[in-house]
């Protein structure tokens, strides 16, 4: 790509000597006529100056600048740009480079008022003799005007355009000092290879800052301004070196260097080194930066995002980000391993401190953390639990866990437990620790009332807590049938970590423009969306999931709570857990094919075996320097029972169960069982024939039940042997013969 000034010369050159002679001489004549007061010429000149850009505005001469994204700990994460430019003060640019550009581009820069009549005449003479555009006549000031104020008019290369350019150059010289104009120019000019300005050029050709450039390096870069594409030192080193030597000659002639410096510089060989800019200008945490970039484009005009030189301050903690990446890729780094996403949030502020959105951003830019909506499985049961608590059910509320459960929806919804059977009447607390499907299916249906379905209540709870995806009011949401993202799940569980106060996820804290003005500042405030006692009750239950439930591999040696999740056919494995200081969600699965994880490192893909260990590895490191805070205890909720009947335990169906199964099914209920036995021709020995109270009735915990156990068929009554009458006695002797 050639510079704008170079493109201008090429455009003029195609028209040959006629254009060169007419254009340049007519321009000189026009200026002369204006100076002697020709009324008609003056009128034409004034007409050309109509509708000029507002050159008096401080923003008038701004150039496109890269937007910089910083982490919370001050690390540069990315540069977003259409033009690779880093604006620096002239004090941060080599004096040799400044002198070199003045020598080769505008050697009377410090003497002229913005236009150079002598240069115009010289250029006209050279172009006419050559028959083409050989010599440029634009001053540094004119070039800067061309690249800024008149950039939208650059295709209109006529006398009118040139007059406007010259007029604005003179006006700029009245507003700014020569040093200020030179600084502006040094940050604007295109040097090839996508590099705009001195700093970008120094990085592109010599992998150093502009202030560190040597004399020969400065001369080479200065020479590129004439024709960046043709003189590209990577493609045309001989041409670039020849131009460099011409720049050095001009510097010597203008007294900027000594003869000795000139000779040493001429003898210096070309040694290029490119400071490689990462793809998309992203240095760290590519998926996180991609999410920030998306949010910026939603908040600001795209031109401002990529050309406005914004400074964007984010919530990312680079140390925790590295810990997250180590936990994910250290656990799932083998060929053929499933994908993984991790999101970690400070629940008190909503600040997203770490995000892993995929394995390799260069090959796959789909962000699993923010875009990867997948079934959360049993990790969604937490919202059913909260809805039940809000509805007045205490943690020790008993629910039937028998399997299968036939939920009388339309059509009938049949739910089975993963282990294939139930344990009779168990508490919500116990059902959550063991993640019993049939209990939560029955709970969401039991939450139905005349005003609203239980599914609608659960959906609203999820929304209040931080789920933003659409959650239709189907009973199946109790088992995580609707897709959500890891970011949403982390945000929602954070509501429990703060006793019911929710603040949405925050990635950008502040945006500042180049003049230092704050143009955006995060003002998100926590909102109390759950009663503190409800949130605390849920947390106490979820602590049991880690201490003695399905997430034993998530133990980290400090108070923590959470819930595992495994979707149908082992396609998704989740663990979402939290402490008072940090909430983190982990999802594992094959995002493209949704393949069942039947053999990952020798085991099936359960949330407790795949996601929970990754969570624990990250959280241990991320909280290593944080005090082991416990959850802030809250007063118990004042449950308002609908009736005395609701406070009793539903009696499970015991008939047909073995005596051992009856004992197991009633163990958590605290029922006192009186066993009686009877013969029964149809029920096998040792199995329950009948029960009292009947299945479905309600009984207080500790109440007495009677269960009749079969002794098997009643044995047949034995037939007595026939009685043989004694023989008659001998009358004579009284003895038997």
Per-residue HEC secondary structure of 448-507 comes to: CCCCCCHHHHHHHHHHHHCCCCCCCCCHHHHHCCCCECHHHHHHHHHHHHCCCEECCCEC
| pLDDT on residue 651 | 82
Sort strands 688-692 and 704-710 into parallel, antiparallel or unpaired: antiparallel
Q: How far apart are CA 313 and CA 638, in angstroms?
A: 44
pLDDT tens profile 239-275: 999 999 999 999 999 999 999 999 999 999 999 999 9
Return the structure tokens found at 561: 């709570």
Task: Let me know: does 5 contact 157? Beta carbons within 8 Å.
Answer: no
Q: Which residues contact 572 (CB under 8 A, 6 or more apart)?
A: 374, 375, 376, 377, 565, 566, 587, 588, 589
Q: How far apart are CA 177 and CA 598, in angstroms?
A: 72
Query: How would residue 218 be classed by pLDDT, with cut points 50, 70 and 90?
Result: very high
Give the chain's end-to-end CA distance (angstroms, integer): 143
Helix, strand, coil tally for the chain in percent (to 5): 40, 15, 45
Q: How far apart are CA 708 and CA 705, in angstroms?
A: 10
The C-alpha angle 710, 711, 715, rounded to 5 degrees, equals 135
Q: How far apart are CA 709 and CA 661, in angstroms?
A: 12
C-alpha closest to that of 567 among 374, 311, 352: 374
Query: How would residue 145 be classed by pLDDT, with cut points 50, 70 and 90?
Result: confident
User: What pTM was estimated for this model as a whole?
Assistant: 0.80
The C-alpha angle 574, 577, 578, rounded to 5 degrees, equals 160
Asked whether residue 14 carries a pLDDT value surpassing 60, the answer given is no
Asked whether residue 734 carries a pLDDT value surpassing 60, the answer given is no
Asked whether residue 167 carries a pLDDT value surpassing 50, the answer given is yes
| pLDDT on residue 693 | 85
| pLDDT on residue 636 | 74
| pLDDT on residue 737 | 32
Asked whether residue 320 carries a pLDDT value surpassing 50, the answer given is yes
Percent of the chain with pLDDT over 90: 66
Q: Report H helices in 137-214.
A: 140-147, 159-175, 178-186, 197-206
* Over residues 270-290, mean pLDDT: 91
Q: How far apart are CA 664 and CA 16, in angstroms?
A: 101
Query: How would residue 727 be classed by pLDDT, with cut points 50, 70 and 90?
Result: low
| pLDDT on residue 196 | 94
Query: Which of 435-444, 488-497, 583-592, 631-640 is the least confident region?
Result: 631-640
- Note every long-range contact of 731-734, with CB atoms under 8 Å and residues 24 or more positions apart, other chains counting: none
pLDDT tens profile 72-111: 999 999 999 989 999 999 999 999 999 999 999 999 999 9
The topology under which CATH files domain 4-267 is Penicillin binding protein transpeptidase fold (1.10.3810)
Strand, coil or helix: 562: strand
* Over residues 353-366, mean pLDDT: 95
Kindly list the distances between the CA atom of residue 552 and the CA atoms of 396, 548, 561, 605, in Å, as whole numbers in the listed order: 22, 6, 11, 15
C-alpha closest to that of 318 among 528, 74, 648: 74
Residue listed under structure tokens 């970690």: 344
Strand, coil or helix: 249: helix
C-alpha closest to that of 486 among 342, 624, 637: 342
Q: Report the chain's mean pLDDT, rounded to a whole number.
A: 87
Per-residue HEC secondary structure of 628-660 comes to: CCCCCCCCCCCCCCCCHHHHCEECCCCCCCEHH
Return the structure tokens found at 343: 């999101």
Please state which CATH number belongs to domain 648-710: 3.30.10.20
Asked whether residue 439 carries a pLDDT value surpassing 50, the answer given is yes
* 283 exposure class (CB count in 10 Å sphere: 0-12, 13-18, 19+): middle
Write the DSSP string, 96-148: HHHHHHHHHH-TTTTTSSSS-HHHHHHHHHHHHHHTS--S----HHHHHHHHT
Q: Which residues contact 378 (CB under 8 A, 6 or more apart)?
A: 435, 437, 479, 480, 550, 563, 564, 565, 566, 574, 607
Per-residue HEC secondary structure of 259-321 comes to: HHHHHHHHHCCCCCCCCCCCHHHECCCHHHHHHHHHHHHHHCCHHHHHHECCEEEECCCHHHH
Radius of gyration of the chain from Cα atoms? 41
| pLDDT on residue 31 | 55
Residues paired with residue 24 on neighbouring β-strands, in sequence order? none
pLDDT tens profile 22-76: 445 455 555 554 454 556 666 776 777 777 777 777 667 778 899 999 999 999 9
Domain ranges in the chain are: 4-267, 648-710
């Amino acid at each position: 790509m050639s510079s704008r000034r170079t493109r201008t010369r090429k455009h003029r050159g195609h028209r040959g000597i006629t254009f060169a002679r007419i254009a340049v001489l007519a321009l000189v004549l026009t200026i002369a006529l204006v100076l002697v007061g020709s009324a008609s010429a003056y009128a034409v000149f004034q007409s050309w100056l109509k509708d000029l850009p507002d050159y008096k505005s401080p923003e008038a001469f701004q150039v496109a600048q890269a937007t910089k994204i910083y982490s919370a700990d001050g690390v540069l994460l990315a540069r977003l740009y259409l033009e690779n430019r880093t604006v620096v003060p002239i004090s941060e640019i080599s004096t040799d480079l400044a002198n070199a550009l003045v020598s080769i581009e505008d050697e009377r820069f410090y003497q002229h008022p913005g236009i150079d009549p002598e240069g115009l005449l010289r250029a006209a003479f050279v172009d006419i003799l050559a028959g083409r555009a050989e010599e440029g006549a634009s001053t540094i000031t004119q070039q800067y005007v061309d690249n800024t104020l008149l950039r939208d008019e650059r295709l209109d290369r006529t006398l009118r355009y040139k007059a406007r350019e010259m007029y604005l150059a003179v006006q700029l010289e009245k507003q700014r000092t020569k040093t200020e104009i030179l600084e502006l120019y040094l940050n604007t000019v295109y040097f090839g290879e996508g590099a705009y300005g001195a700093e970008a050029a120094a990085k592109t050709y010599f992998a150093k800052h502009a202030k560190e450039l040597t004399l020969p390096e400065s001369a080479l870069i200065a020479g590129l301004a004439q024709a960046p594409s043709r003189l590209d030192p990577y493609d045309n080193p001989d041409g670039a070196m020849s131009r460099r030597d011409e720049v050095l000659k001009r510097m010597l002639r203008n007294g900027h260097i000594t003869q000795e410096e000139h000779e040493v510089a001429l003898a210096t060989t070309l040694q290029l080194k490119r400071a490689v800019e990462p793809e998309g200008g992203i240095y760290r945490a590519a998926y996180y930066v991609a999410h920030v970039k998306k949010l910026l484009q939603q908040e600001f005009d795209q031109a401002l995002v990529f050309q406005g030189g914004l400074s964007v301050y984010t919530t990312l903690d680079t140390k925790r980000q590295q810990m997250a990446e180590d936990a994910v890729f250290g656990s799932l780094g083998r060929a053929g391993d499933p994908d993984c996403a991790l999101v970690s949030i400070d629940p008190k502020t909503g600040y997203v401190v770490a995000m892993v959105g995929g394995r390799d951003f260069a090959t796959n830019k789909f962000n699993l953390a923010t875009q990867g909506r997948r079934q959360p499985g049993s990790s969604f049961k937490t919202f059913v639990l909260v809805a039940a608590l809000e509805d007045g059910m205490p943690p020790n509320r008993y629910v039937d866990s028998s399997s299968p459960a036939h939920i009388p929806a339309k059509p009938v919804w049949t739910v089975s437990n993963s282990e294939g059977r139930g344990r009779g009447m168990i508490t919500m607390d116990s059902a959550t620790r063991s993640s019993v499907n049939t209990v939560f299916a029955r709970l969401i249906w039991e939450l139905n009332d005349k005003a609203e379905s239980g599914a609608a209540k659960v959906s609203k709870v999820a929304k209040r807590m931080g789920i933003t995806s659409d959650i239709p009011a189907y009973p199946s949401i109790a088992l995580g049938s609707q897709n959500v993202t890891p970011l949403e799940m982390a945000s929602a569980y954070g509501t429990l970590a703060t006793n019911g106060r929710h603040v949405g996820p925050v990635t950008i804290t502040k945006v500042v423009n180049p003049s230092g003005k704050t143009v955006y500042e995060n003002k998100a405030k926590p909102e109390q969306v759950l009663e503190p006692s409800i949130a605390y009750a849920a947390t106490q239950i979820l602590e049991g999931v880690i201490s003695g439930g399905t997430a034993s591999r998530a133990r980290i040696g400090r108070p923590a709570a959470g819930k595992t999740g495994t979707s149908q056919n082992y396609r998704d494995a989740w663990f979402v857990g939290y402490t008072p200081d940090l909430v983190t969600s982990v999802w594992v699965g094959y995002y493209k094919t949704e393949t069942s994880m039947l053999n990952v490192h020798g085991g099936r893909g359960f949330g407790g075996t795949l996601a929970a260990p990754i969570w624990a590895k990250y959280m241990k490191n991320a909280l290593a320097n944080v005090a082991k805070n416990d959850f802030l205890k809250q007063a118990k909720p004042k449950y308002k029972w609908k009736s005395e009947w609701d406070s009793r335990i539903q009696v499970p169906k015991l008939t047909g169960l073995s005596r051992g199964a009856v004992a197991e099914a009633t163990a958590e209920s605290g029922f006192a069982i009186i066993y009686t036995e009877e013969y029964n021709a149809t029920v096998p020995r040792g199995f329950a024939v009948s029960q009292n109270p009947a299945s479905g009735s309600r009984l207080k915990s500790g109440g007495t039940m009677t269960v009749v156990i079969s002794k098997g068929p009643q044995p047949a009554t034995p037939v007595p042997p026939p009685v043989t009458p004694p023989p008659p006695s001998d009358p004579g002797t009284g003895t038997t013969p």
